[in-house]
Structure 1
Amino acid sequence: MPNAEPTNQLRERVEDGGVAVGVLDSTYSPTLVEFYGDLGVDFVWLDFEHGGPDPWDGPTVENLLRAADRSDVELLVRLPDTDPTLVRKALDLGVRNVFLPRVETAAEIEAAVKSARFEYDGEPGNRGLGSPRARRWGLRENYVAVEDRETMVGTTIETREAVENIDEILAVPELGFVFLGPLDLSVAYGHPGEFDHPEVQDAVETVRAAAVDAGVPVGGLAFGMDDAAAKAENGYQILNLGSTTGALKEVVTGWLDEFGARE
């Protein structure tokens, strides 16, 4: 029904204190987005920073959103830039969950979060009031109130500056979550690829502890199911369990190894 009020199930899950689990679809396939939803994941991560279609390409993004709608799964979209205009574009297409790359200051995040709101922290927001797909082209009732309630904007913490400014970042009104990027932090701290380096782990723990204390949901990558369970116990509420290509690699190499063993 076009007038039905949409519910952001990812936001609902974390606000209720639960843990949302998802998969990175590195193929950017509407078919796989739909399939992942049928499999029962809470979200499909689409990373437009490191690959995929141009996020300005409305029709392509809309097809991914239609697939998500079909199987009742949320998209978690990482944008390639913090540009408030790009944030508004994604939301107007119907994305409800976006997160920002390579931020360094609270002011940068606040500008993006404010651009996603009609009302922000008791004042007017910076979102444009049109009749885009998110509004069902003018058919959706209570559009302003629903969008402000259901939209979630988060940020990746993946630079030294962001770690140093974490308290100010966590104080940004309506910040939906912080997502820890240990791989990029390993680069930022001079240890590329060594995400288990003590200096990198100290940075990760600094952010995790501060976010939990501030009541801001924490997201991150799970390196195996034991790590996922440990992170959930440690306060993480948004966990990426793996990727399409990673799952295919594991299965296909397993097939090939088994076949070779039987030759």
Structure 2
Amino acid sequence: MMRESELKKKLRNGEVVSLVFLESTHPGTAETLALAGCDIICIDNEHGCFSSEQISNTARAITALGKAAILRTTCCDPNVIAHYMDCGLSGIFATMVKDAKACQDVINGVKFAPVGKRGVCFNSRAAHFGMHGMSVEDYLNWCNDNTVIMVDVECVSAIDDLDNIIALKDIDVVHTGMWDLASAYGHYGHPEHPEAKKINDDAVAKIIEKTGICCAYAPDADAVPDVIARGFRMINLGGEYDFIANHVKACQAKIDEYNAALKQA
């Protein structure tokens, strides 16, 4: 039986949702993040390196626990997107989108007609290998209702076309990439530059005003309440390598501190 998307329900109800980026190709890492309660485990195929088989196995581990498996990719080709979706993903996070046309291409790959142009297949993992237990019409409608599309606005042309991107009703979340936006406007590595910050802040304000949802990074648990208070309903918690490195560095600093004191004694 196809399971209704808990993520879509939360988004419709105005709840705050969490997201982590996954670069490890081991499904156990994805399971750990899902068991920890994160709403979205975003399989990072922009900066990570996943094969189609690894995407399918990782999505299986995530969705079996009722969480959303979203693939991060720079590809907007609807045929490639459709292939990814047949791996059993909950949705797509398309980055570096150039304009509303590119976003429509993503919609065409994720959604079946009449919403999009995704090719129909009934024996894929996404269709429970033909055992989805629905009529054809109900299955296609279910997919269109339960799949999630996120896009990342991080170039000049996307900022220029932001109104048209936001107007696409089948885009669930519009995100801004402040580091790449800063670079796009000539402020490499400096998202805090006044021009870069204003461009990002103005885009975020418009997105929240028009759609009610935008994503922001919280570097630690203490930062989460402030991010929510600023109007963000999707919280980026970082990636699993961040969690490992931060924990080890914090513990190692205490050990080094003890050893330094021991040497001075």
Q: Distance in 1 between matches of 2:250 and 2:165?
A: 43
1:80 Cα deviation from its structure 2 partner: 2.8
**1-side partners of 2:212 and 2:76: how far apart?**
20
Does the Cα contact within 8 Å between 1:177 and 1:216 map onto a contact in 2? no
The answer as to whether partners of 2:74 and 2:97 remain within 8 angstroms in 1 is no
Q: Which runs of 5+ in 2 are unaligned?
A: 260-265
Alignment partner, residue 127 of structure 1:
118
| C-alpha separation in 2, matches of 1:28 and 1:197 | 36
* Matching of residues 185-224 of structure 1 within 5 Å: 185-215=181-211, 217-224=213-220
- Output aligned runs, 1:8-87, within 5 Å: 8-54=5-51, 57=52, 59-87=53-81
C-alpha deviation, 1:241, in angstroms: 1.1
Q: Note the C-alpha offset of 1:191.
A: 1.5
Q: Helix, strand or coil for the counterpart of 2:4?
A: coil
Deviation track 1:179-236 (CA, whole Å, cap 9, x = no partner) reads 1111111211211221222222212222212222222531232234454333322322
* Runs of 4 or more above 6 Å deviation: none
Letter in 2 for 1:17: G
CA distance in 1, matches of 2:179, 2:220: 16
User: How far does residue 161 in structure 1 lie from its aligned partner after superposition?
Assistant: 1.3
Which one-letter code corresponds to 2:94 in the other structure? Answer: L
Partner SS for 1:134: coil
How do 1:80-229 residues align onto structure 2 when only pairs under 5 Å count? 80-120=74-114, 125-131=116-122, 132-140=124-132, 141=134, 142-215=138-211, 217-229=213-225
**Secondary structure of the corresponding residue to residue 225 of structure 2:** helix
Q: 250-259 or 160-169: which moved more?
A: 250-259
**TM-score relative to the length of structure 1:** 0.90
Mapped partners of 1:45, 1:66: distance in 2: 13
1:223 and 1:251 map into 2 onto residues whose CA distance is: 13
Q: How far did 1:159 drift?
A: 0.7
Which has the higher mean CA deviation after the structures are superposed, 171-180 or 149-158? Answer: 171-180
SS in 2 for 1:126: coil
Counterpart contact for 2:92–2:110, Cα < 8 Å = no
Q: Does the residue aligned with 2:233 lie in a helix, a strand or coil? A: strand
Residues in 2 aligned to 1:29 and 1:204: alpha-carbon distance in whole angstroms:
34
Distance of aligned partners of 1:194 and 1:227 in 2 relative to their CA distance in 1, 3 Å threshold? farther
CA contact (8 A) 1:218 1:238 kept: yes
Q: Which residue of 1 aligns with 2:262?
A: none
Give the corresponding residue for 2:236: 240
| Rounded Cα–Cα distance in structure 2 between residues aligned with 1:201 and 1:214 | 20
Alignment partner of 1:133: what SS? coil
Contact 2:43 2:55 in 1 (8 A): no
Structure 1 window deviating more from structure 2 (65-74 vs 238-247): it is 65-74
C-alpha distance in structure 2 between counterparts of 1:94 and 1:216, whole Å: 28
Distance in 2 between residues matched to 1:224 and 1:108, nearest whole Å:
33
Kindly state the Cα deviation for residue 64 of structure 1 after the two structures are TM-superposed. Answer: 0.2
Structure 1: any 5+ residue segments left out of the alignment? none
Deviates more, 1:205-214 or 1:112-121: 112-121
TM-score w.r.t. length of structure 2: 0.89
**Of the two, which has the highest radius of gyration?**
2
Partners in 1 of 2:76 and 2:257 — Cα distance?
Answer: 50
Partners of 1:197 and 1:14 in 2: CA distance: 32
**AA in 2 matched with 1:99:** F
Give the Cα–Cα distance (whole angstroms) in 1 for the partners of residues 164 and 59 of structure 2: 33
